[in-house]
Amino acid sequence: MKSKNKLLNLLTIEEKAALIEGNDSWNTNGVPRLDIPKLFLTDGPHGLRKVRTVSGGFGISDNAHSTAFPTSVTVASSWNPEHARRMGEAIAEECIAEEVDVLLAPGVNIKRSPLCGRNFEYYSEDPLISGDFGTAFVQGVQSKGVGCSVKHFAANSNENYRFVGNSVVDERALREIYLRAFESVVKKAKPYTVMCSYNQLNGTFASQNQLLLSSLLRDEWGFDGVVMTDWGATCDRVEGVLAGCDLDMPGGVWHNRKSIIEGTLSGRLPISKLDQSVERILTLVDRCASKKSKANGDILEAHAQLSCEIAKEGAVLLKNDGTLPLSGKEKLLVVGEMFEKMRYQGAGSSLINPPRVITPKNAFDERGIPYIYEKGFRCFYTDRDFALEQAALDAAKEADTILFFGGLSDFEESEGFDREHMVMGDNQTKLLDALIATGKKVVLVLFTGAPVELPFFDRLSSMLNMYLPGMYGGEAAAALLYGEVTPSGKLAESWPMSARDTSCYADYNLSAVSQYYESIYVGYRFYDKAGTKLRFPFGFGLSYSSFHYSNLSIKQHGNEITVMIDVTNNGNFSGSEIVQLYVRNNKSKVFKADKELRAFRKEFLAVGETQTIEMKFDQSDLSYWNVKEQRWVLENGSYEIAVAASAADIRLTAQININGGEEAVTPYSDEILAAYDVPPLRIPSVFADLTGHTDRGTKPEPALSLESSLFEFKRSLMGRLLFASVMYVIQKDYKKALAMPDSLERDTRLKNSHFVVKMMPYNSIRSMCMSSGGKFTYQTAIGFVELANGNLIRGLKTLLKKEKPLPLPGE
């Protein structure tokens, strides 16, 4: 390729406009006459999802075989970012084999509520964990010459309103919680690209948010790559480019390309701004053109083995009365269709098509383990099947130990929609109750992407949480249950008793405006200070062994604080321990969480072995974001170092003094300080003062617009017709899948079409148009809005107007 300066001179405005948009769902446009190639971008994050048949828009269709790794929630529960790095390297090898240039991953959004349908795709409620795992993943992928797109930037914490919603967040919570992981990944791993989210942040769509895309990302954090939209997130394309959003995906929307051309000619879009985005695309093309080496051998099998290793490290033992590990001598009854139809990944854009799956049943049979198996309940359904239940109860008479394989289905938890509660299906909870009532030992093996209510927990013998363990998850489960491997994962999220106990419950998904009224009190930062009784605290996880902590020592050298402790495996099994370092905050002039995670380490220890574990952090990590002075402020004073096995199990403490900081004036009014001294349980009246935003979003707009969701269109007769016709088309796929014979193919099709059926009503007409790859034109979208608002003649005229897009370069 010629030099960028030369190319900028040679490219026409039309070609430049084409270069900054996508085509065919996954490609960008190239310019053949100047040898500028197209790039291929695709999902992520738990494997490579390369569609075989491109279908426009979200491109949910038939995917090529690739490794289904454990999802991010499982990877993070390993508390070992090395796994994210190795997984990144492996996925990049598959990208190279499939000629993919950029992987749309990782997702580093913070888990604000356990109800978010997409939590399985995110790492943690804690920014340090999300940042460390995201960084390692990007470093892994990019070390092979494949680019990453860190997503979804930013404050995207629900699925129901992701297309039309507005996240109202105070600046300090943004800086300290929601942006911190992005900042860390951008600074440490230098991702080739960042993907902006669909939602608005404080009233401005992320795709045209100058503060996010330019001031923070580029000017402050030094990002020098491409910002792309999430699929269909473009609002006003020119505003987007002006704000720093380079690439419109999936593209193919003539209205957007035209607005760039017209904007440049009219002066609304200075050519220098257009050139800046084009130059960034050319840099990305250069970066992706780097020489890559193809991995040899059967990479899919090697990667499947790696996925299994990570699944073993990420599974979390949540209870054990000694029933686990199993000896093989039990009179074993296995209940739950998940035994043979394990849920190993989440649904939506990350859905992988692995060449092979090892279910727990496969792994048990491979080992020759004797068991009786009863389905007890059907996967995918929450209705009880009394015949199946009775058969399981009858079989229980012959058993001494019952292994129950259960969890959430993709119909309850998926990208595209949120859960309304944390309750598991009646068909599972009622059967579990009845099995427990038999007096036999009941072990729950759970497959879920996020916390669930466990009302029967006290009566269980043991519980192993596999989360979503990837394609060989059954093998991992068997190895853990039979003690071939000692469980060593810990939760990277708190498990509340129920959704009602969560920090944002008073406003979560009540309307399109999400008021992040809890501010910095997210996850354990909330529960700690609110004194909430939890099912499991953040960082919790058991082992078959036990670990003793001793000899805490601390060194302070300039900005760096080094903490050392000795950990001894004083149990009977070799295994790994995860040590967590929290810092309890000083007495401060601002409100703060009680304590915050500042470092962690996972180490393997043989029986009887002692190791000295060293953890480091920078004292500047203890700073808070001062909104008045617009900078990080480190307060002097005494802080407590707490070395812990979980957020609720502090083993050793010591005080440190920080003198190199300062005594800044509090940026808050007395009212705000009073309202946030402990976490508020509802939206406090000072919330608008805290954020500087008053949008409560209670009144729906009288007239329908491009920004209205498809569901809102039901308000008018024509709108109802539009709603019904769109839903008819997408429900057809769902019904077709339902009619298929029982098979893996049917399950995949059901998940895909269910995801679209659930998601579509929440989609805005604008975003439907922007993600349609040009099939649902802007003109048609406007026409529909006019019709729905009762302007029949104008609507029809608009619909019938024909516009011919300029050909793309090379056409």
At 404, is the secondary structure helix, strand, or coil?
Answer: strand
CB of residue 43 to ligand BGC, shortest distance in Å: 5
The nearest distance, CB 182 to ligand BGC, in angstroms, is 15
Give, to the nearest 10 degrees, the angle between helix 426-437 and helix 386-396.
20
Closest CA to 90 of 361, 368, 305, 360: 305
Least Cβ distance, residue 58 to ligand BGC (angstroms): 6
Is 166:512 a contact under the CB 8 Å cutoff? yes
In whole angstroms, give the CA distance from residue 688 to residue 693. 5
User: Please, what is the minimum distance in Å from the beta carbon of residue 153 to ligand BGC?
Assistant: 11
- Whether 230 sits among the annotated catalytic residues: the reply is yes
Minimum distance, C-beta of residue 769 to ligand BGC, in the bound complex (Å): 15
Residue 555 pairs in a beta bridge with: 562
Residue placing its CB nearer to ligand BGC in the complex, 46 or 151: 151
Distance, CA of 543 to CA of 320 (rounded, Å):
9
**C-beta of residue 230 within 8 angstroms of C-beta of residue 197:** yes
**d(Cα 521, Cα 180) in Å, to the nearest integer?**
15
Nearer to ligand BGC, 237 or 535 (CB): 237
Amino acid present at 797: K
Count of positions (residues) in the chain: 811
Applying CB under 6 A, the residues found at the interface with ligand BGC are 43, 58, 104, 151, 230-231, 349
The two three-digit tokens of residue 684, written as one number: 């406090």
* Number of continuous H segments (helices) and E segments (strands) in the chain: 24, 28
Instruction: Give the residue with the Cβ less far from ligand BGC, 60 or 641.
Output: 60
Q: Which residue, chain included where needed, has tokens 């992040």?
A: 516
Question: Per the residue annotation, which of 24, 230, 507, 528 is the catalytic one?
Answer: 230
Nearest to 152 by CA among 191, 106, 116, 186: 106
- Which residue lies nearer to ligand BGC by CB, 58 or 776? 58
Q: Could you tell me where the DSSP H helices lie in 315-425?
A: 360-367, 386-396
The tokens for 363 are 């792994």
Helix (H, G, I), strand (E, B) or coil at 408: coil
Q: How far is the CB of 251 from ligand BGC (least distance, A)?
A: 12
Shortest reach from residue 104's CB to ligand BGC, in Å: 4
Tell me whether residue 43 or residue 374 sits nearer to ligand BGC (CB atom). Answer: 43
Residue with smaller CB distance to ligand BGC, 57 or 470: 57
**Nearer to ligand BGC by C-beta: 195 or 643?**
195
What pairs with residue 788 in β-bridges? none
The owner of tokens 């992407």 is 449
On whether the CB atoms of residues 152 and 181 are closer than 8 A, the answer is no
DSSP label at residue 414 = B
**Helix, strand, coil percentages in the chain from 3-state DSSP, rounded to 5:** 35, 20, 45
Please report where in the chains the tokens 């006459």 appear, as a residue: 33
The DSSP-derived string for 584-635 is EPPS-SS---SEEEEEEEEEEE-TT-EEEEEEEEEGGGG-EEETTTTEEEPB
Task: Report DSSP letters for 161-190, one per residue.
Answer: TTTT-EEE--HHHIIIIITHHHHHHHHHH-
Collapsing DSSP states into helix, strand and coil, what is residue 225?
A: coil
DSSP 779: H
Closer Cβ to ligand BGC, 106 or 809, answer by number: 106
Residue 655: other Cβ atoms inside 10 A: 10
What does the block give as tokens for 515?
């008021």
Of 746, 575, 584, 574, the C-alpha closest to 652 is 584
Instruction: Decide whether 72 or 323 has the Cβ nearer to ligand BGC.
Output: 72
Single-letter code of the amino acid located at 800:
L
Of 775, 769, 808, 785, nearest in space to 231 by CA: 769
644 in Cβ contact with 552 (< 8 Å): no
Least Å distance between CB 348 and ligand BGC? 7
- Shortest distance, CB of residue 439 to ligand BGC, whole angstroms? 47
Q: Which residue is nearest to ligand BGC (CB)?
A: 349
- Distance separating alpha carbons of residues 532 and 108, to the nearest angstrom: 26
Q: Which is nearer to ligand BGC, 209 or 789 (CB)?
A: 209
**Cα–Cα distance between 87 and 416 in angstroms, integer?**
25
Least separation in angstroms between CB 295 and ligand BGC: 24
Sheet with strand 332-335: strands edge to edge: 316-320, 462-465, 441-447, 401-407, 332-335, 372-374
First to last CA, the chain: 20
Beta strands (DSSP E) in 647-701 are 649-658
Quick one: 763 exposed, middle or buried, by C-beta within 10 A (0-12, 13-18, 19+)?
Answer: buried
- Amino acid in position 317: L
Rounded to a whole number of angstroms, the minimum distance from the CB of residue 349 to ligand BGC is: 3
| Nearest residue (CB) to ligand BGC, 151 versus 749 | 151
- As measured in angstroms, the least distance from the Cβ of 255 to ligand BGC is 20
Dist CA 583 CA 642 (whole Å): 6
- From the CB of 723, what's the least distance to ligand BGC, in Å? 20
Catalytic residues: 230
